[in-house]
Amino acid sequence: MNNNVHNLIIIGSGPAGYTAAIYAARANWNPILIEGPQLGGQLMTTTEVENFPGYPDGVEPFQMMDDLRRQAERFGTVFVSGVVTKVELGKPHKIWVEDTDVYETNALIIATGASAKYLGLPSETTYRGRGVSACATCDGFFYRKKTVAVVGGGDTACEEAQYLANLCEKVYLIVRKPFLRASQIMQDRVLNNPKIEVLFEHNTVRLTGEGKVQGADLVYRKGEPDEQLHHIAIDGFFLAIGHHPNTQLFRGMLETDEEGYLKTLADSQACIGAAGVFAAGDCCDPRYRQAIVAAGSGCKAALDADKYLKTL
């Protein structure tokens, strides 16, 4: 192995990246973790984490990420602040940070996560973390016996509406089209649930409230002659219109599905189709998108990287 080339670089500072760093550092590979634009990743958009094992009283996401970071640092992980702007896969792999610093590595773990799609309303940003969420499983518990709205018309939106209906007093499902795109069985469950009210042909134009979400202004049949504006009182607003994986840097270099999620090899949940390249977390997980699942996949990626590096 070339002494001028690093053993392992990890891109991403969410649960997957930090867990990979902990395992790789304990295996004495002296990993470098490039932290990216947001420490903690998508988890930082929520207000409190109550479903990650080891925190019986819940934990603020910043605190949890700081715990993971300090644990990785304890075993020798080196952290680099900045955003990766370019990657060349080869022997070795080359990583550019902020277009200026270039790192070479024998193994690479991609843990760049995914980002929820938002409507683009200014009020979404205002109330993010104060009533606006993109994860019902993560935040639904905070809205027990309250009224919430879910935006979307596909399977994910219907699943989240049903999940929230088990916790909340009432759930509005806001659908911009006159029909649901979800599978028929999902449609039947939503339409027959007395706690879910489906608002077809509605678009959200703004969220309202004093310090937190307390309502939403909707337009019925936007752009039509019979367009109507009305208001609903809600305590929470959930986006379920999809996610996009943060894998743009690797398009054309690594195999992805139609939505851009990195594909792992059939015999491994971490290896992908390039020598010494591994994936972990939401960038390769279109299904679960949970911090504990991401952490587990970070462990797998580090173990696979360890096995690969030993062959060199």
Catalytic residue, candidates 57, 101, 138, 168: 138
Residue 39 has pLDDT above 70, yes or no: yes
pLDDT digits (tens, 9 = 90+) for 82-127: 999 999 999 999 999 998 899 999 999 999 999 989 999 999 999 9
Can you read off the two tokens belonging to residue 121?
């309303």
Per the omega criterion (within 30 degrees of 0), is the bond before 178 cis? no
Residue 273 has pLDDT above 90, yes or no: no
Catalytic residue, candidates 57, 66, 67, 135: 135
Mean pLDDT for the chain overall: 93
On whether the CB atoms of residues 198 and 225 are closer than 8 A, the answer is: no
- Annotation says 138 is catalytic: yes
What is the pLDDT at residue 113? 95
Provide CB contacts within 8 A for 128, sequence distance 6+: 45
List the 236-239 sheet strands across, edge first: 132-133, 236-239, 147-151, 170-175, 196-200
| Mean pLDDT of all residues in 200-206 | 97
| DSSP letter string, 151-165 | E--SHHHHHHHHHHH
- Annotation says 283 is catalytic: no
Residue 2 has pLDDT above 80, yes or no: no
pTM of the model: 0.82
